[in-house]
Amino acid sequence: MKIRRLLYNLLLAIASVAVFFVIAEGLTVLLWDYKLQGSHVGVVIDKGDKRVVHEGIEYVTNSLGLRERELDRRPKAQKTILVLGDSFVWGDGIPVESLITYKLEKRLSGLGYSIEVVNGSGGAGNAESEYQRLIWLTPIYRPSMVIVFFFTNDILEASDVVDDSKLLVAKSWRQNIKEFLRSKSLFFAFLYYLYKDRIVEIVGVPQSLLPPDYFNLSDSKPGWKSFKDYALKMRDYCNQNNVSFRYVIIPTLTCLNNRYPYKEMHDKLKQFFSDSGIEYFDLFPVFRPYRPSMLWVNLENSHWNDLGTSLAAETLVKWKSFLIGLER
């Protein structure tokens, strides 16, 4: 009798939960005006003279494989700035006119500078790959200044790429479960975006959900040590070639307040740059007044959008160290 009652209660509980989710799903479909999209996957094009349309955005590369003008169409500028970085500089999810390099060149022109700003990003990688691109592109573009945009993945080992598709994929099992539920249920997607956009600002992001290599940084962490080694190599290479060298720190666009999860990383970076004689600018205070979702491409893609690149460009052209470097 007890077993039967237990089974009855269990089935009743399961049925109640199922009914709740069916009703919640139905109400979400009726009340939330949002069309579910597939999981965002960043595209990397490692060949020249390519045109790819991905998630509605056109990516065109020149003969060098850069999202940049062809070499014979370069402007006749007095100076060149070479910009390196990952998918933020490459422009994941945004058109050419929203690229940070495009915005910088346009604003500098408005200030009376004759300067070409080159997007030297490959769309992925870390400090090691940025160093390799510096060695490769400097003799071609002969920049007077190099700016490297730092993002958190710079202290991780380079991400793997899927076969011949050249699409970066999430490898975390938590990420895969989240993406599966989000793609199958509008109600779950609503809860996830509510958490990602609003609740995180209040409660923060549990450190247990984030890569351990981002915390307690020391030379015992291979990614952190490798980043420092290659940042110094880039500094020395630029010094040897009489090229100004700068770093810009892009914050992760989540929880841009006192609960920001990577404060320790920013502090460590700034201390390292100061000790190493590397000029740097941290964009966190620039983005802090904004709710993170205001700076995202969309709910699936949390790379910076046109507003994010505009804010960064407007701020950097006022950065004293940046302007002094242009006078070299």
Q: What is the pLDDT of residues 275-316, one digit of tens each?
A: 999 999 999 999 999 999 999 998 888 999 999 999 999 999
162/125 Cα distance (integer angstroms): 14
> Looking at residue 161, what is its pLDDT?
40
If one looks up domain 51-168+205-326 in CATH, what number appears? 3.40.50.1110
> Residue for token digits 């007044």?
289
d(CA 197, CA 187): 15
Closest CA to 282 of 296, 268, 293: 268
Report the Cα 112 to chain-centroid distance in Å: 30
Is 60 exceeded by the pLDDT of residue 167? no
CA–CA dist 228, 246 (Å, integer):
14
pLDDT over 50 (residue 170): no
Is this prediction's pTM over 0.75?
A: yes
Interval 251-264: pLDDT, tens:
999 999 999 999 99
Extract the tokens encoding 319.
């950065």
What is the residue-averaged pLDDT of the chain?
87
* Cα 28 to chain centroid, rounded: 30
Asked whether residue 35 carries a pLDDT value surpassing 50, the answer given is yes
Q: Is 63 helix (H, G, I), strand (E, B) or coil?
A: coil
Please return the burial class of 233, using the count of CB atoms within 10 Å of its CB with bins 0-12, 13-18 and 19+.
middle
Residue 46 has pLDDT above 80, yes or no: no
SS3 296: strand
